[in-house]
């Protein structure tokens, strides 16, 4: 598969669990297993990419989040049980729209 001209060869690439397209790792939001507001295991955002353990990657958009939820991609990508909630990620994206400059 030919690489995109705009993507340098050494750029780490990950697949978005929502739309399943490959993108530079820095353009994706990392998610890991954490604890939701209800105290149950949930997919939580790891914007710094520093959390230990298995991570999954997602475009930081509500569109890709919705796709991931519909496909139950959080459970699959994080090797978690069925029904792993992605609510903290959705909340993060709702309050953190990357397309609009914050300053």
Q: Quote the least distance from Cβ 23 to Zn ion, whole Å.
A: 7
Q: Are 82 and 73 in contact (CB under 8 A)?
A: no
Q: What is the total count of residues that contact Zn ion (CB under 5 A)?
A: 5
Binding flag, residue 16, Zn ion (CB under 5 A):
yes
Which is nearer to Zn ion, 37 or 63 (by Cβ)?
A: 63
Question: Of all residues in this chain, which one has the CB nearest to Zn ion in the complex?
Answer: 16
Q: Quote the least distance from Cβ 19 to Zn ion, whole Å.
A: 3
Pick out residues in 17-76 that bind Zn ion (CB under 5 A): 18-19, 59, 64
Q: Quote the least distance from Cβ 39 to Zn ion, whole Å.
A: 29
- Nearest Cα to Cα of residue 19 among 46, 57, 45: 57
Q: How far apart are CA 40 and CA 73, in angstroms?
A: 18
Range 67-71, long-range pairs (CB < 8 A, 24+ positions): 67/18, 67/19, 68/17, 68/18, 71/17, 71/18
Residues forming the site for Zn ion (CB under 5 A) = 16, 18-19, 59, 64
């Amino acid at each position: 598969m030919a690489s995109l001209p705009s993507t340098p060869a050494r750029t780490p690439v990950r697949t978005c669990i929502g739309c399943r397209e490959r993108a530079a790792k820095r353009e994706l939001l990392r998610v890991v297993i954490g604890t939701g507001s209800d105290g149950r295991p949930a997919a939580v955002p790891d914007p710094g990419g520093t959390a230990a353990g298995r991570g999954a990657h997602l475009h930081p958009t509500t569109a890709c989040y919705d796709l991931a939820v519909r496909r139950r991609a959080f459970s699959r990508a994080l090797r978690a049980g069925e029904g792993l909630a992605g609510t903290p990620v959705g909340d993060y994206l709702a309050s953190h729209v990357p397309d609009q400059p914050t300053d």
